[in-house]
């Protein structure tokens, strides 16, 4: 008893396949605007606007290269098998084989090796991107609150040893003695000003739930977690306007948790800070949503239920 396979006539099938392929190719090419071409060249990544961005981009690029090489090998093997072992006559059943030890060893070891290489480079890039310089040029205290952002800019001398939390005596310990701030709301999208070519440290605070602070063009982002201060350093290298957002679904108005970023000259940055001061947005410690940021259930040392 042989395999019952339906009889196919090859030629019309091949012709319609060719026409379909041609149609798809023309559609794809016709849809390519200049912006699309730019996107394709960038492998769908935004233009890099920070010193840290190229690390992320290189990882992304080489992951594509590895995926394409794997793809070409797999597609090649598929087409080779399809052509080489095709059915040559209606009543023929191809030779049936099972077990090929060298092949099985290969397809077990090769993916494991690929994962090891991907893992190595991911860790290498991550270490670079989340690296913290002991003395950044400036520090901005960022609060992600449901559902907007507050940016606190330090005025005057910076104390790089500040913890952005509490010192050993339980006193607030921030990098500056004076602050100016801008606080967004669900209606008012705030703008974060940054001086170009300066390494800025963001101390990330949340008074409520987990948010995630990120600017696509910076190619870095970091979670904003209540009860702890995450730190992220970025060096913007290109002046311009960028869009930032919350990357963590944080509640009903999460989609409104947008902000703009203006990377400007140092003079324009100083002028903006003076503007905030003139508007009365001044404080001697950053606006971080009140003391409950640090006193949440289960986080205080002396409450019942604390495990410390």
Interface contacts to Cu ion, rule CB under 5 A: 211, 246, 250, 257
CB of 253 to Cu ion, least distance (A): 9
CB of 50 to Cu ion, least distance (A): 22
CB of 222 to Cu ion, least distance (A): 13
Cβ-based nearer residue to Cu ion, 200 or 257:
257
Cβ-based nearer residue to Cu ion, 43 or 249:
249
CB of 33 to Cu ion, least distance (A): 33
Residue 187 φ/ψ, nearest 5 degrees: -95, -35
Cβ-based nearer residue to Cu ion, 66 or 189:
189
Q: Are 95 and 43 in contact (CB under 8 A)?
A: no
CB of 303 to Cu ion, least distance (A): 27
Cβ-based nearer residue to Cu ion, 164 or 204:
204
Cβ-based nearer residue to Cu ion, 136 or 207:
207
Cβ-based nearer residue to Cu ion, 176 or 242:
242
CB of 216 to Cu ion, least distance (A): 15
């Amino acid at each position: 008893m042989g395999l019952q396979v339906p009889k196919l006539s090859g030629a019309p099938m091949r012709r319609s396949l060719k026409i379909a392929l041609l149609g798809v190719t023309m559609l794809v090419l016709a849809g390519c605007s200049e912006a699309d071409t730019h996107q394709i060249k960038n492998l769908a990544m935004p233009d890099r606007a920070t010193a840290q961005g190229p690390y992320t981009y290189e990882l992304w690029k080489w992951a594509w290269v590895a995926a394409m090489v794997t793809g070409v090998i797999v597609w090649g093997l598929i087409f080779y098998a399809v052509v080489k072992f095709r059915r040559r006559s209606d009543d023929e059943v191809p030779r049936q084989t099972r077990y090929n030890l060298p092949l099985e060893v290969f397809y077990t070891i090769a993916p494991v090796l690929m994962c090891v290489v991907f893992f190595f480079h991911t860790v290498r890039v991550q270490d670079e991107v989340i690296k913290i310089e002991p003395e950044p040029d400036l520090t901005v205290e960022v609060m992600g609150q449901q559902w907007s952002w507050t940016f606190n800019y330090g005025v005057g001398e910076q104390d790089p040893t500040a913890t952005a939390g509490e010192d050993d005596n339980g006193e607030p310990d921030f990098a500056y003695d004076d602050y100016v701030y801008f606080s967004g709301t669900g209606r008012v999208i705030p703008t974060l000003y940054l001086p170009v070519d300066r390494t800025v440290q963001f101390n990330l605070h949340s008074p409520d739930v987990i948010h995630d602070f990120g600017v696509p063009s910076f190619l870095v982002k970091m979670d904003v977690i209540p009860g702890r201060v995450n730190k992220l350093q970025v060096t913007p290298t290109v002046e311009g306007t960028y869009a930032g957002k919350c990357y963590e679904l944080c509640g009903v108005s999460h989609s409104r948790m947008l902000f703009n970023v203006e990377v400007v000259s140092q003079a324009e940055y100083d002028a903006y800070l003076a503007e905030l001061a003139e508007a009365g947005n001044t404080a001697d410690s950053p606006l971080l949503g009140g003391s409950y940021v640090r006193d949440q259930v289960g986080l205080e040392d002396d409450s019942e239920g604390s495990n410390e």
